[in-house]
Homo-oligomer: A and B are copies of this chain.
Amino acid sequence: MNPKINFTPGPSQLYFTVKDHIRNAFSEGVPSLSHRSKKFESYYIDTVQGLRELLRLPSDYHVYFTGSATEIWERLIQNLVEENSFHLVNGSFSKRFFEIGIQLNKKSIKVEVNNGSGFDASLSFPDETELIAVTHNETSTGVSLQLDYIYDLKTKSPNALVAVDAVSSLPYPDFDYTKLDSVFFSVQKGFGLPSGLGVWMVNDKCLAKAESLLSKGISIGSYHNLPSLHSFAIKNQTPETPNVLGIYVLSKVINDMVRRGISNIRKETDYKAALLYHAMEKHQDVKAFVEDKSFQSKTVIVANCGDHTERLTKVLLEKGMQPGDGYGPAKKTQLRFANFPTHSKEQFELLVDSLI
């Protein structure tokens, strides 16, 4: 009834160990566990320590949990921006992040390029910029920014904080977190969990900025403002009753990924992406939407399929594969393929062989 292989970019295919972890969670009583218990704290610790190891997160970074990455967009603006945020917009999700600044009555500004494009290296930022918001991987278009480009934002605007939306790329990118201030993701993409949990990583500078807004009498929200999140995080707890089952399963999946080896995951991601991009180069009707190779995402690969979109979807579904629709207006002319750690080489080989 359900396709065996789910290539939609999120919610995507579950990490292959998730079902077992949820079964174990039930036998351990996790779904009705108190979030003020020692056992919950141990899962919190496992998740944070696991992330530190998997992503090489520096010690001045902290890890907090929210309901979604959408929530993190809002909390970032609320906690880190008194007036001025600057948004690099190249698709629907980076645009939504910008719009949240406007909705929170900030003087948010944006530079916007066409879908499928990256940004010019000559970009400059007003002196008063407090936060630069950038999307590492645009899930709507399959554009990924190069890491050096992102690091350079801080060089260009040393007084601004840099927040990176890595929702549909982590754990693939090997970020140098010392050149960033906040990175965040949601669990239903690269980590392959059921949706309903956002993970927000911030450094001490972000905490200090939130404290400084608070000391000026500016509201930075309540239970999920940074000082509140932090005051509970140091006790390995959350301010509210969180998605306890999600945090438990995340701790287990991260541990699975640590044991598998992040360098293996990255190499396999590169291999699978190369397979699909190579196939599209040779294909008559299916072409990569992002033409500039330096911007081609490794984790969300978008194919221009034009009139063949419906036919190809049918072909793939018949072979047990669910492609992702094109996003928004591209729904009927593009297909999107997630290339996450749970997707195997064999699944990508089958996909490529089936694109006929």
Q: Is A81 an interface residue (CB 8 A)?
A: no
Residue of B nearest to A102 (CB): B222
Chain A 1-36 against B: per-residue CB contact (8 Å), 1 yes, 0 no?
A: 111001010111110001100100010111111110
Partner of A221, one of B11, B103, B239: B103
Assuming the A-B contacts A67-B66, A244-B196, are A74 and B32 also in contact, with contact meaning beta carbons closer than 8 angstroms in the complex? no
Chain B residues within an 8 Å CB radius of A67: 66-68, 71, 196, 240, 242-243
**Interface presence of A241 (CB below 8 A):** yes
B11 touches A70 (CB 8 A): no
| Shortest Cβ distance from residue A229 to the other chain B in the assembled complex, whole angstroms | 12
Chain B residue at minimal CB-CB distance from A12? B32
Residue in A29, A34, A103 with the greatest tally of chain B CB atoms within 10 Å: A34
Interface string of A63-96 (1 = CB under 8 A from B): 0001111110110000000000000000000000
- How many chain copies? 2
User: In angstroms, how far is the closest chain B Cβ from the Cβ of A325?
Assistant: 9
Q: Which residues of B contact A10 (CB under 8 A)?
A: 241
A164 contacts the other chain (Cβ, under 8 Å)? Answer: no
Does chain B have a CB within 8 A of A301? no
Q: List 7 A-B contacts (CB under 8 A).
A: A6-B32, A8-B34, A11-B32, A35-B195, A73-B223, A100-B223, A103-B225
Q: Write the residues of chain A forming the contact surface with B, with a CB cutoff of 8 angstroms.
A: 1-3, 6, 8, 10-14, 18-19, 22, 26, 28-35, 66-71, 73-74, 99-100, 103-105, 186, 188, 193-197, 217, 219, 221-225, 239-246
